[in-house]
Amino acid sequence: MSGVRRSDLFLPATRETPGAGSEAAKLLVRAGLIRGFGSGLWAVTPAGQRVRAKLTDRVVAAMDSIGGQRVRLPGLQYADRWRESGRWGGFEGEMFTLENRDGQAMCLAPSHEEGVVNLLDGPVRSHHDLPLLVYQVESKFRDDHARNGLVRTKEFTMKDAYSVHADEAGLRETYREVRAAYERALDDVGLEYAIVEADAGVMGGATSEEFVAPVADAGGDSDRLVYCTGAGCRFGVTDEHDGFDEYDADDACPECGGSLAASDGIEVGHVFQLGTRYSQAMDFTVDTADGDERSVEMGSYGLGVDRLLQTLGQQHGSPDNLAWPVTDWGSVAPYRAAIVPVGDDSEVLGVAERIHDDCGREDVLLYDEDAGLSVGERFAESGLLGIPAKVVVGNTYREDGVVDVETASGTEKLAVDEVAAFVERFAGSGSRAADSGVSD
């Protein structure tokens, strides 16, 4: 089986959306990107996984570009290091705990500060071994009250990163680099967001900021956000912040003078300067240049991949259709383009097949005859999926020998052999999940 032909694709689009919780989640279910597995648990379908892989790819590239080293830490952990850090019980019931058959206390890790100390403490002994920035893209677990689809779940995928330093200046520098890398990744995928000062909460530490995406309605599970609409300005404040009441929609932005707006906000990322909160509790020290020993400085940086998927779909879509943004980098849409033959005569179908071949097939969805969908259903489904370009092979081809390529910015009439280059230019070669190299 080669290429993406609609007749081969498992795409469980449905009109029924039991328990999805919010309009944004219901839209993902209707489009066939996710399927509920009971409260707070979701399966991701092949089309959903394509979006997720592209998002992950962009986040991984951003971390690699600043010297991040990818690791994998166990999701299932013993209690001892959590007791050392003082967080066993610190999650107030949100941590899944269990006992193994030998009666040992274990947990499903909601976060990995303890895990990363466990990984590094020992091999890392000296300031010469630092700084280090490690990250993973894996499941986390929290026994949270499930709300709003992929935004609040019991198992979720995060890119979580941890940095370790011999001094505070090094921590501050890496914190700035990770913050900038997050900005690049979120700009690439086309998210609108503000960066807000935050309370460190259960993570501890001194300085932290959240990346919060404005959305019209977060289904009762969100902060209220006031944010700047000025180009390039990331000023924002949420109702978790003390000074929130000082800001209103339509006020002038205190940073750039642009106009403020108010909306619901979904936190997609969070960066923390933890300082020595964990290293002191867990006795993680290194030898310093002047022959002393000191607790290492740590930073912790999270970006929610599943959350990002839903938030992006919600931010740019309508109640009826998903819409994935197209940026200079490309698009995380499940497919860059859909080829929609109108009619089933062999000439039209042959041209559709030829365009599919020209486009390299793997990131372009062909509505082939065997899928058994009417022309109306082909249009409706590709719209629902938010595929950014539709290549329509039909009457215009029969009459004038050209095809219509429909995008958000209008319809282009193109010769058959021009389509592949157009799709490449329009939706970006960077967005292919297969291109997982560092691009900057």
Q: How far is the CB of 51 from Zn ion (least distance, A)?
A: 30
Question: Parallel, antiparallel, or unpaired: how do β-strands 337-341 and 389-393 relate?
Answer: parallel
Scanning 5-13, 124-132, 202-210, 230-238 for contacts with Zn ion by CB under 5 A, the matching segment is 230-238
Complex with Zn ion: residue 255 or 435, whichever CB lies closer: 255
CB of 246 to Zn ion, least distance (A): 15
DSSP label of 434: T
Q: What's phi and psi for 258, nearest 5 deg? A: -70, -175
d(CA 107, CA 79): 7
Give the whole-angstrom CA distance, residue 223 versus residue 218: 9
Q: How far is the CB of 108 from Zn ion (least distance, A)?
A: 40
Which is nearer to Zn ion, 80 or 255 (by Cβ)? 255
Q: Identify which of residues 155 and 251 has a Cβ nearer to Zn ion in the complex.
A: 251
CB 208 within 8 A of CB 179: no
Identify the burial level of 217 via C-beta atoms within 10 angstroms of its C-beta, where 0-12 means exposed, 13-18 middle and 19 or more buried. Answer: middle
Looking at beta carbons only, is 168 or 255 nearer to Zn ion? 255
Q: Are 150 and 104 in contact (CB under 8 A)?
A: no
Q: Is the peptide bond before 341 cis (omega within 30 degrees of 0)?
A: no
Q: Which is nearer to Zn ion, 260 or 303 (CB)?
A: 260
Sheet of strand 4-5, all strands in order from the earlier edge strand to the far edge: 4-5, 364-366, 337-341, 389-393, 402-407, 410-415
Cβ at position 193, least distance to Zn ion in Å: 13
225 binds Zn ion (CB under 5 A): no
Selected binder of Zn ion within 3, 12, 230, 394 (CB under 5 A): 230
**Quick check: 235 binds Zn ion (CB under 5 A)?**
yes
233 binds Zn ion (CB under 5 A): yes
CB-nearer residue toward Zn ion: 33 or 237: 237
Q: Site map for Zn ion, 248-287, x if CB under 5 A?
A: -----x-xx-x-----------------------------
Residues 337-376 that bind Zn ion (CB under 5 A): none
To which residue do tokens 């500060």 refer? Answer: 113
Q: Which CB atom, from 228 or from 420, has the smaller least distance to Zn ion?
A: 228
Question: How many residues make contact with Zn ion (CB under 5 A)?
Answer: 8
Cα angle, residue 330 at apex, residues 351 and 421 outer, rounded to 5°: 35
Residue 256 or 349 having the CB closest to Zn ion: 256
Under rule CB under 5 A, which residues in 26-65 are in contact with Zn ion?
none
- Residue 60's φ and ψ, nearest 5 degrees, are -65, -45
The SS3 of residue 356 is: helix
CA proximity to 424, closest of 375, 347, 355, 366: 355
- The interface region with Zn ion, picked from 195-203, 232-240, 299-307, 344-352 by CB under 5 A, is 232-240
Tell me the three state secondary structure of residue 242: helix
Shortest Å, Cβ 96 to Zn ion: 41
Binding site for Zn ion (CB under 5 A): 228, 230, 233, 235, 253, 255-256, 258
